[in-house]
Chains A and B, each alone.
With several copies, the nearest count.
Chain A
């Protein structure tokens, strides 16, 4: 094993150009995939922060005793998909409406008594935010005897949720596509490198080297290349990210959300995957060039 390890190191030194090409290719591929992941994660964050605005208003029948409201709240809290429930009394409701329509104060001048009902503002857990789930919950709420009427945001918010899901879906699809493309490109490059060295492989076989003996240093090299390429790709991304994000956050004054880098876990996963790709690329290419 130590022998193979030494041979791998020697081999990398003997083929600096080929190794550099492979590592650069892996680094660029990782850069592409992780740049997109970063973009996607942050875009999702932003959209999620909007989506938090989606809430269901459940208006109560008049004259529900104050004592029952606590129990009702707990009941709704237990419904599937509910994240939290907030009671909004009719007085609070009117104040909010007035704030909202402060451009038309004349509308409220003639009001003798508060025409609004008490209400619950219900936030749903993010994963349940699609039109079907919202409508399901709405139906359950409407079935409650205490509830008079249910309203869920504006129509565009429901549509927006769909589009968000579409965005997510295409994002994942695109991420998948990019990953596959990266794997292809890396495998292609490794194949090309081994093609360049096929004579050498052939000579080793002719002088009696077993396949495992020939392959061992290549595998080690593949792993080193993958890990190194992945690390370099992420490092480049991180530096670019630092430079860009500080500029962006300044010029857009986006105080309400912070651009975040990939988590350590994702970071680790990417390097692990890139290592696997390096190994796999070697495996498949070696198989081809040692076949006959």
Chain B
């Protein structure tokens, strides 16, 4: 049914509800994201932006409704196939989720290791992506001693190192000054031109303006009619 809506869709969200205990975090959300789209989800604090992204990478399950990502119905996907789904995604988490006991290099490399990339290629790729985000000097540091912005840049590097077909970015420039933010924005744009689909949750107006793309508004879990 939803499959037929659009052959070009890479993400389809259909009448999705999400409840946490008694709290409604998402109410009747329907979204169709075509391949190579750039979708910006804005909305105030607690609107459900992060929750919506979590549904896409299966950190949370929908309470009702359907989610399809790259042809996979997330309600029916088996436990074993979840890593397979996640390797298609590059996720920038709002709280970075870096492993504190691993170096910056290892934090980024783990994505490639999990995909089974060759050791030598990993070295090359990780170094190159860290150079892009301006973190090549801190390659052997551990995340807890990095500044907030530095941690965020490592998180971005990890998200893009595996050449994902979809990037889910939750507030990717929240801790960055505008110069650093611009570097990240350029990076995301570069991936977009290469064909990657972008889904970005943010309340940063600067980011909304700069990155370009379709903007949807969430408010208290409901998708607002686009103004």
- Shortest CB-to-CB span from A212 to chain B, Å, is 9
User: CB distance B97 to A208 under 8 Å?
Assistant: no
Does B113 interact with chain A (Cβ within 8 Å)? yes
Contact partner of A208 among B100, B102, B115, CB < 8 A? B115
Q: Report whether A206 and B114 are in contact in the complex, using a CB–CB cutoff of 8 Å.
A: no
Which residue of chain A lies nearest to B86 when distances are taken between CB atoms in the complex? A208
- How far does the Cβ of A8 sit from chain B's closest Cβ, in whole Å? 13
Complex Cα gap A208–B59 (Å):
11
Say whether A208 contacts B111, CB under 8 Å. yes
Interface flag for B49 (CB, 8 Å): no
**Which chain A residues border B91 with CB–CB below 8 Å?**
206-207
Most buried by B among A7, A206, A208: A208
Q: Are B99 and A200 in contact (CB under 8 A)?
A: yes
* Alpha-carbon distance between A3 and B109 when the two chains are bound, in angstroms: 12
Find out whether the CB atom of B101 lies under 8 angstroms from the CB atom of A200. Answer: yes
Give the number of chain A interface residues (Cβ < 8 Å): 16
Chain B interface residue count: which class? 20 to 34
In the assembled complex, how far is the CB of residue B88 from the closest CB belonging to chain A, in whole angstroms? 8
Query: What chain A residues lie within 8 Å of B162 (beta carbons)?
Result: 208
Knowing A3-B119, A10-B106 touch, does A208 contact B114 (C-beta < 8 A)?
A: yes
| Candidates B86, B106, B115; contact of A206 at CB < 8 Å | B86
Write out the residue numbers on chain A whose beta carbons fall within 8 Å of the beta carbon of B87: 208
CB neighbours of B86 from chain A (8 A): 205-208
Are B97 and A206 closer than 8 Å at their CB atoms? yes
Chain B: minimal CB distance from A53 (Å): 63
A184 interface contact, C-beta 8 A: no
Closest CB of chain A to B158's CB: distance in Å?
7
- Knowing A14-B101, A14-B102 are in contact, say whether A209-B110 is a contact too (CB < 8 A): yes
8 Å CB contacts to A: which residues of B97-133? 97-102, 106, 110-111, 113-115, 119
Q: Is there an interface contact between A204 and B106, defined as CB atoms closer than 8 Å?
A: no
Give Cα A203–Cα B154 distance, bound, in whole angstroms.
14
A50 within 8 A of B: no
In contact, A213 and B114 (Cβ under 8 angstroms): yes
Q: A210 within 8 Å of B by Cβ?
A: yes
Least Cβ–Cβ distance between A221 and chain B, in angstroms: 13
Tell whether B57 is near chain A: CB-to-CB under 8 Å. Answer: yes
B83 adjacent to A205 (CB under 8 Å)? yes
Residue in B closest to A210 when the chains form the complex, CB atoms? B83
Assembled-state Cα–Cα distance A139/B59 (Å):
77
Q: Which residues of B contact A (CB under 8 A)?
A: 57, 59, 80, 82-87, 89, 91, 93, 97-102, 106, 110-111, 113-115, 119, 158, 162
Known: A208-B86, A208-B87. 19 other contacts (CB 8 A): A3-B119, A14-B101, A15-B101, A200-B99, A200-B100, A204-B99, A204-B110, A204-B114, A205-B82, A207-B91, A207-B111, A207-B158, A208-B89, A209-B113, A209-B114, A210-B80, A210-B114, A213-B83, A213-B114
**A–B pairs, 12, beta carbons within 8 Å:** A203-B97, A206-B57, A206-B86, A207-B91, A207-B110, A207-B114, A208-B83, A208-B85, A208-B86, A208-B87, A210-B83, A213-B83
